[in-house]
Amino acid sequence: MGGARHTHASALPGDDWTLGIEVVRWGMRQGRPTCMVISPDETFHGKQDLDYFAGVSAETTGSAGLCMHLVTIPPRGLAKPHYHAHHETVIYVLAGEAGMWYGEGLREHLTVRAGQFLYIPANVPHLPYNPSETQPVTGVLARTDPNEQESVVPYDVPDPGIPR
C-alpha cells in the first residue's frame, strides 16, 4: 500500500514540497491547510475486507472532519460484518447493485442501485455484498471519520446465515 498521489493548483516561490515514491504533497502553508488534488491511483484493503481507492482522509490530506473514497465490491463479493463507532457513512452508487444486511443481528435488508444514495447511521452493524455473478459494484463513500479505518469495528454475529 502506497500513498495517494497529490498535487496542488499552483506552486508559489517558497512553498514547502515533500517528494516521495508516487507522492507529491503540498501540505501546509504558513501553518494553514491548503487545497489538494488527489488522483485515486493507490488502493488499500480495509478491515471490512473490501478494496478502496484512496481519496480524502486524515492520512492522505490531513483532513480533520471527513473521509471520502471509492469502494468496489467485486462480483459475489462480501464484506465482513462491521459498524463505524460514532461516525455516519453515505455511499453514492456509481455502478451496479448491492445488497446490505444491517441492524441488530443483521436481520434487516435493503438493496441500493446505481444512481441512489445509501445512508448508514453511526454504530449500525452492516454487511454489504454484491449479488451479481459478473458485475462489480462501485460507489463513492463519504464518512464523518477523517481517519478511514479508525472507527471500523468488527461486528461479531454467530453464523448470520446471510443469503446473497
Cell triple for 70: 471509492
The kind and range of the H/E element at 59 are helix 58-61
Distance between start and end Cα atoms, the chain: 30
Look at strands 32-33 and 28-29 and give their pairing.
Answer: antiparallel
Domains of the chain: 43-154 (2.60.120.10)
Burial of 83 (0-12, 13-18, 19+ CB in 10 A): buried
Interatomic CA distance for residues 61 and 34, integer angstroms: 9
Overall residue count recorded for the chain in this entry: 164
The kind and range of the H/E element at 26 are none
pLDDT in tens, the chain (164 residues): 444 444 444 333 344 433 333 333 445 455 667 888 887 777 766 666 676 677 888 888 888 888 898 889 999 999 889 898 888 999 999 999 999 999 999 999 999 999 999 999 999 999 999 999 999 999 999 988 877 666 677 788 765 556 55
Measure the CA dihedral 78/85/68/118, to 10°: 60
